[in-house]
Structure 1
Amino acid sequence: MHRLRPTIGLLTLLVLAGCQSTGYESRPSPSLPPEATVPGQQSPAPVISAPPAPSAPVSPAATAPLPAASRQAIDLLPDGIADRTGWARDIDTALDHLGIPRSADNLCAAMAVIEQESTWQADPVVTGLPRIVRKEIDSRAERYGIPKIVVSAALEKTSPDGRSYTKRIAALRTEKQMNTLFDDMLSELPLGKTLLSGFNPIRTGGPMQVSIAFAENHLRQRAYPYPRTGSVRHEVFTRRGGLYFGIANLLDYPANYPHPRYRFADFNAGQYSSRNAAFQSAITRVSGRKLAPDGDLLRYRGDTPSEDVSATEAALRTLAGRLHLSARQIRSDLEREKSADFSHTRLYDRLWQLAERKAGRALPREQLPDILLQSPKIQRKLTTAWFAKRVEWRYDRCLARAR
């Protein structure tokens, strides 16, 4: 069972697990190396070491002068982008505030995700958005037994911008417009809270399609570089906020990866998913139990681990004797799966020792997660591996501009 994840520049309603990834060879990145090397493997070059986030909530940042756009960032942008200086300044500000070097690797990693997710649109256009929204409303009305004629009558009500909700739905083009529409429907329509159950379906936004939940959590850990003009959700839909939180999600965590493609996969599937997917494959090797390497080691309800035992945890319990760990100790270590600390647990170290002893060689500690992406907009099979490879292709093109 997998948590809902942000998708790749698509309206984020559902993300389901279950695709198969394939190996993808490319040259190693010179400045995104792992923190440590696996015994027996060739030492790769270093990754960004982001400073640890403060453990307690922090106050908003004092208004300090923002950095000017660097010539390097401007020159790395693809041709044909309006307001090149503005885009470059917002990218540089995010890197500087997060303490991440303005290297060509880091700039190109951010730019590759922006291009993949929004093709350099601060508020990306979503094709077929009116149909998607009306289908969502109708399906919820059917669930609650509300006749279509009642829904249609309610949507003819005049909304705060002077148009009926029906006309606003028909004119929808972007997720920002949709977010505003749902906010108005929830507060103004008599049926709004019943139809939508207090739930705004917009989970991601901005030019990097970053998760709003991630932005809210990150803001509790780090000061924001800009004066706030509204909610965190509002900031995600601005270019500066969308880039800041998107770059934080992509680069502001220490990861033991030899190549940025695994960060690209994590951006789509959740931080450390590539590390965890490799760990699941190692469990399969040792236990003989087939696991889907999706990067989720536990079951979740929202952001909280469920008490239900996942397939991964069940497989590890069969190895408890060989791991010299109790079921409680296994569970305790698994609960650290979303942090860098998991790589230093007894469970992680002992499982890899068993796997590599059985294989007779060193094994990679990272793997593209197997996740199938589904949404009303997707007409063909798209996976996290597909996303990571597309972003890597854009990343390589950006580095070619640097050369």
Structure 2
Amino acid sequence: MKSTASLLGLSVLLGACATPAPTPPQAPVISTQPPAASAPAAESKPPAAVAVLPQTPPPVVITPPGTPAPRPPAANPRQLLGKLMPAAARQRDSWRDDILGAFGALQLQPSAENLCAVIAVIEQESSFQADPAVPGLPRIVWGKIGEKAGGYYVPLGLVKTALLKKSRDGRSYKERIDSLRTEGEMNDLFEEMAVEARNIGLPVGMKNPIRTGGPMQVSVEFAEAHVRAWPYPYPRRGSVRSEVFSQRGGVYFGSAILLQYPVNYSSMLYRFADFNAGRYSSRNAAFQQALASLSGSRLAPDGDLLRYDNGTTAGISSSQKAVAKLRGKLQMSDADILRDLKLEKNAGFADSPLYRKVMQLADAQAGKRVAREVLPQIRLQSPKITRKLTTAWFAERVNGRYQQCLGRAG
């Protein structure tokens, strides 16, 4: 009933079933540098070049809480939160508890701005559903499996036959795939399949391909790194991965990646872009824009200054090549340049000699202060996405919800 080819190919096939977020982090790097503050910068339009996300994203850097919100916290945050939540949100008490619980544990100011930022992302990503449904999920999963099966000359029917074995809930694995509705269900299925790999006939050590989930679509890798840098406030009901797919865990980790790092942006819009593209991507995209102008290089402002493979730098990036053209003007060695570029996912990059010198040269060339923040130009890719969407689209969409939320604050 099974062939060696089908079983060896199946572990590869299943890896295509994930519905990844734009920037799932790999090999996290933990940083405990204190927040750094500087004056906000002016907004600028990004260049037209659009970058497609790389297969291996850069590492995540987790930083302690940033500077306080511009407004003081509300006298009654729970009452304010109830006012700010959209009317369509159901189970409002549980959402209020989880949002305020996350803010308390992460030491975030419960200001209208911060609360609305989290509300806007939840509304955009899940419409306040703890485990949002994905339309056509079985079709997406089988479609990707079929594509991979064809590449290995394994008939899809043979793969489905291999998955007729009963799972823990009494249904076959094939039946469970056919009835998938949510990413949470898909995650549970693949978690079980990874544990039961030997019994199913799959190679031992097959990893769960699901990388993001929950009401704020948080990266599992980020969450696993965060608990090593900051104490998780709730009793775990399983793995960190399982917490990501819960309402309370999804809100907690989503609030952390959105707000628990210091930036000097003039608008929350750029935090929303960073949420989608990676921390400090808006700052780094502005740096790339300045670098392109100075060097004459064509750079896609995607916010990634280095190339990565499995969380470590690999090869020479376009931004590195552009900086090399300015070596004489910068009066910096290759080693010093690389040292500073490695800070790109850290608040400290803005205080590095490389950043300061490049931005000073760009200011002088333009005869004015150039932008210190722009929206990264990244095309979003996912089996769920059928239109051409970008990080800028995401940020502007969430920002619209954010402004509506602030309007409810009165």
TM range (shorter): 0.7 to 0.9
1:91-110 to 2 correspondences below 5 Å: 91-110=99-118
Superimposed CA distance per residue, residues 356-379 of structure 1 (whole angstroms, 9 cap, x where no aligned partner) = 100000112000000001112211
Structure 1 distance, partners of 2:407, 2:186, is 37
1:309-388 to 2 correspondences below 5 Å: 309-388=316-395
Structure 1 distance, partners of 2:324, 2:301, is 17
Call closer, same or farther: CA 1:242–1:15 in 2, change over 3 Å: closer
Amino acid at match of 1:99: Q
Q: Secondary structure at the match of 1:70?
A: helix
Amino acid at match of 2:379: L
Residue of structure 1 aligned with 2:39, choices 34, 37, 50? 37
Structure 2 distance, partners of 1:140, 1:182, is 17
| Residue aligning to 2:210 | 202
Structure 2 distance, partners of 1:329, 1:266, is 26
Structure 1 distance, partners of 2:225, 2:155, is 39
Structure 2 distance, partners of 1:322, 1:193, is 57
Amino acid at match of 2:80: Q
Structure 2 distance, partners of 1:11, 1:166, is 16
| Residue aligning to 1:276 | 284
TM-score (norm 1): 0.83
Q: CA deviation at 1:111?
A: 0.1
Structure 1 distance, partners of 2:300, 2:250, is 32
Q: CA deviation at 1:157?
A: 1.1
Alpha-carbon contact 2:103-2:110 (below 8 Å) kept: yes
Structure 2 distance, partners of 1:192, 1:275, is 48
Call closer, same or farther: CA 1:139–1:376 in 2, change over 3 Å: same
1:206-217 to 2 correspondences below 5 Å: 206-217=214-225
Amino acid at match of 1:207: P
Structure 2 distance, partners of 1:264, 1:302, is 25
Q: Secondary structure at the match of 1:96?
A: helix
Residue of structure 2 aligned with 1:53, choices 51, 54, 64? 64
| Residue aligning to 2:236 | 228
Alpha-carbon contact 2:19-2:384 (below 8 Å) kept: no
2:268 is aligned with 1:260: yes
Amino acid at match of 2:37: E
Q: Secondary structure at the match of 2:343?
A: coil
Superimposed CA distance per residue, residues 52-101 of structure 1 (whole angstroms, 9 cap, x where no aligned partner) = 539xxxxxxxxxxxxx9711111211113222111011101111111111
Q: Secondary structure at the match of 1:382?
A: coil
Residue of structure 1 aligned with 2:400, choices 390, 393, 398? 393
| Residue aligning to 2:119 | 111
Amino acid at match of 1:335: K
Structure 2 distance, partners of 1:262, 1:203, is 23
Residue of structure 2 aligned with 1:168, choices 171, 176, 190? 176
Amino acid at match of 2:371: P
Structure 2 distance, partners of 1:272, 1:355, is 19
Q: CA deviation at 1:140?
A: 3.4
Listed as ranges, the gaps of 5+ residues in structure 1 are: 1-9, 17-33, 43-50, 55-67
Higher mean Cα deviation, 264-273 or 296-305?
296-305
Number of residue equivalences: 353
2:258 is aligned with 1:245: no
Amino acid at match of 1:342: F
Q: CA deviation at 1:146?
A: 3.4
| Residue aligning to 2:159 | 151
Superimposed CA distance per residue, residues 219-245 of structure 1 (whole angstroms, 9 cap, x where no aligned partner) = 110001111121110000110000000
Q: Note the aligned Cα RMSD (angstroms).
A: 2.3
Q: CA deviation at 1:205?
A: 0.7
Residue of structure 2 aligned with 1:183, choices 182, 185, 191? 191
| Residue aligning to 1:290 | 298
Alpha-carbon contact 2:21-2:212 (below 8 Å) kept: no
Runs of 4+ residues over 6 Å off in structure 1: none
TM-score (norm 2): 0.81
Amino acid at match of 2:273: A
Q: CA deviation at 1:138?
A: 2.7
Call closer, same or farther: CA 1:187–1:97 in 2, change over 3 Å: closer
Structure 2 distance, partners of 1:15, 1:262, is 16
1:55-134 to 2 correspondences below 5 Å: 70-134=78-142
Alpha-carbon contact 1:186-1:192 (below 8 Å) kept: no
Amino acid at match of 1:53: P
Q: CA deviation at 1:144?
A: 4.1
Alpha-carbon contact 1:11-1:377 (below 8 Å) kept: no
Listed as ranges, the gaps of 5+ residues in structure 2 are: 1-16, 24-35, 44-61, 66-75
Structure 1 distance, partners of 2:367, 2:179, is 61
Alpha-carbon contact 1:274-1:295 (below 8 Å) kept: yes
Superimposed CA distance per residue, residues 165-213 of structure 1 (whole angstroms, 9 cap, x where no aligned partner) = 111111100001001111222233556645x982322111110001111
Higher mean Cα deviation, 290-299 or 175-184?
175-184
Alpha-carbon contact 2:40-2:264 (below 8 Å) kept: no
Call closer, same or farther: CA 1:14–1:218 in 2, change over 3 Å: closer
Q: CA deviation at 1:11?
A: 5.6
Alpha-carbon contact 1:205-1:237 (below 8 Å) kept: yes
Call closer, same or farther: CA 1:317–1:97 in 2, change over 3 Å: same
Structure 1 distance, partners of 2:40, 2:278, is 23
